[in-house]
Structure 1
Amino acid sequence: MIAIIIYLLAFLLVLFAGLLSDSLWQLPEWYMAHVLGARCAMVGGIGGVLYCMRGVYRNRCVDDCWDPKWRVWYYLRPPVSVVTGAVSYLFLRAGLLVLDAASTPDSVTYGYLALAFIAGYNVDNFLKKLEAIAESVWGVGKSRVGADKDRPPKDQA
Structure 2
Amino acid sequence: MDNQLKSLSKLFTERLLRIPDYQRGYAWTNKQLKDFWADIVQLENGQNHYVGVLTFEDVPPIDYKTWDDDEWIISSKNFEPFYVVDGQQRLTTSLILIQSILESIDQNATLGYLTLSEIKKRYIFDSQPDGISGSYIFGYHKDNPSYEFLKTKIFNNN
Range of TM-score over shorter length: under 0.3
Higher strand share: 2
> TM-score normalized by structure 1?
0.26
> TM-score normalized by structure 2?
0.26
Higher helix share: 1
**Higher Cα Rg: structure 1 or 2?**
1
Bigger relative CO (Cα 8 Å, ≥ 6 apart): 2
